[in-house]
Amino acid sequence: MNPLEYIFPGIIAAQGIHAAVELRIPDLLAAGPKTAAELASECGADPETLERLLRALASLEIFDCTEDGRYKNTEFGDVLREDHPESQRDGGMFLAAPFLWRPLGELAESVRTGKPSFNAMFGQSFFDYLADHAEDAALFNRVMTQGIAWTAPALLKAYDFSRFKRLVDVGGGQGALLRELLVATPKLKGVLFDLPAVVAGAVTILQNGVAGRAEIVGGNFFESVPEGGDCYLLKGVLHDWGDEDSVKILGNVRKAIRPDGTLLLMESLIDSDERPAGLGDLLMLVIGGRDRSQADFRRLLAETGFTLTRVIPAVATSLIECHPA
Ligand SMILES: C[S@@+](CC[C@H](N)C(=O)[O-])C[C@H]1O[C@@H](n2cnc3c(N)ncnc32)[C@H](O)[C@@H]1O
């Protein structure tokens, strides 16, 4: 694809998908093809305008138009249904939601100032904002949970967790990854650690089958993290933060980890041979974080008393294995 082609469809495509998902069109088409008029009466839209949206998304292969003028889901439309086993519905809602596209719209300002446009726009940092906006926070948490279905198999294939006794998932969201690790590793015990409001939504995920081996702890990793684990996992956590904050988080993990423990960071490396971090770094920029190189991690780790021992590719990201120095 000619890179300049992104200029035209990119934002419009994302907003078009967002609108269709918000109107629940993929769900309404689950039972079979429908006309724009039928869909419009079901979702409360203007029939002519809805037809324009459906036509535009048919050009992106989200929907198909049948010979008799009805619309149906393609495989991509199907995955935007709420009840699809690998649903990307929340993914379709995510980047095009105002709390993300608006600061992304101010990317040039972030590049100019080196500061997160999110903070300038909303007057607070990203996670403080989520603490005050329950609906956006719920969407964020669901997107994180959905993402685990894609990353957990790669992580389990890339790394043997059976050598550990007690794994602490720091910033582990609502426990979807910890659950997968515990299911795959029958002798492992796990601690889910995240903000109290986030772990409040973890109970159902960590119930069936693993409840006896999963502990849920709410707290703030800038203050402390649970002690005594022989493995600390931080997946997609440090990229949310600048260096000063990352050093504080790693410093607290260093205080809590056993001397013979292992720290695992799961991050997109900007200099990975397999899959270098790409546009995600710009999203991190506007919310106040950054993707990093191996050398950046070595420096942060050295500053906080860790040594980087190996980097293991894990499909979309890299697993960075570290030990207390
Ligand atoms: C990008 S998400 C990653 C979630 C999960 N590890 C994953 O990969 O799906 C970062 C997580 O850090 C958590 N977090 C942010 N600030 C925190 C804090 N001060 N203390 C503990 N957790 C925090 C967020 O609630 C969120 O769940």
The CATH number given to whatever domain includes residue 182 is 3.40.50.150
In a domain, 185, yes or no: yes
Q: Does residue 239 carry a catalytic annotation? A: yes
- Total domains, the chain: 2
Residues with Cβ within 8 Å of 190's Cβ and at least 6 positions away in sequence, in order, are: 166, 167, 168, 169, 178, 181, 182, 210, 213, 214, 215
Q: Which two tokens stand for residue 11?
A: 């934002």
- Whether residues 21 and 153 share a domain: the answer is no
Q: Nearest to residue 167, comparing CAs of 235, 239, 247, 240?
A: 235
- Whether residues 24 and 170 share a domain: the answer is no
Atom of ligand 1 nearest to the CA of 173: 27
- Whether residues 176 and 285 share a domain: the answer is yes
- Whether residues 37 and 167 share a domain: the answer is no
Ligand 1 mutation target, pool 100, 127, 244, 267, most atoms within 8 A of CB = 127
pLDDT of residue 204: 83
Domain limit, last residue, from 56, 89, 122: 89
- Whether residues 239 and 307 share a domain: the answer is yes
Domain containing residue 8: CATH number = 1.10.10.10
- Whether residues 173 and 286 share a domain: the answer is yes
- Whether residues 155 and 262 share a domain: the answer is yes
pLDDT tens digits, residue range 109-148? 999 999 999 999 999 999 999 999 999 999 999 999 888 8
In this prediction, residue 5 has a pLDDT band, given cuts at 50, 70 and 90, of confident
- Among protein residues, the one whose CA lies closest to atom 18 of ligand 1: 220
In this prediction, residue 104 has a pLDDT band, given cuts at 50, 70 and 90, of very high
Domain limit, last residue, from 89, 109, 132: 89
**Does pLDDT of 56 surpass 70?**
yes
In a domain, 242, yes or no: yes
- Whether residues 79 and 168 share a domain: the answer is no
In a domain, 311, yes or no: yes
- For residue 125, the 8-state DSSP code is -
Ligand 1 mutation target, pool 178, 206, 224, 237, most atoms within 8 A of CB = 237
In a domain, 166, yes or no: yes
What is the pLDDT averaged over residues 154-163? 93
In this prediction, residue 309 has a pLDDT band, given cuts at 50, 70 and 90, of very high
List ligand 1's pocket residues with C-beta within 6 A: 127, 144, 147-148, 171-173, 194-195, 198, 220-222, 235-237, 240
Q: Nearest to residue 90, comparing CAs of 148, 21, 30?
A: 21
In a domain, 268, yes or no: yes
In a domain, 119, yes or no: no
CA distance 269 to 184: 26
Atom of ligand 1 nearest to the CA of 266: 8
In a domain, 107, yes or no: no
- Whether residues 63 and 181 share a domain: the answer is no
Residues with Cβ within 8 Å of 8's Cβ and at least 6 positions away in sequence, in order, are: none
In this prediction, residue 276 has a pLDDT band, given cuts at 50, 70 and 90, of low
Domain limit, last residue, from 89, 123, 158: 89
pLDDT tens digits, residue range 27-40? 999 999 999 999 99
- Whether residues 48 and 155 share a domain: the answer is no
Domain span including residue 319 = 149-324
What is the pLDDT averaged over residues 304-312? 96
Which of 117-131, 190-204, 211-225, 263-277 is least confident?
A: 263-277
Percent of the chain with pLDDT over 70: 99
- Whether residues 65 and 175 share a domain: the answer is no
In a domain, 109, yes or no: no
- Whether residues 85 and 153 share a domain: the answer is no
pLDDT of residue 11: 85
Task: State which amino acid sits at residue 187.
Answer: K
How remote is the CA of residue 143 from the centroid of ligand 1, in Å? 12
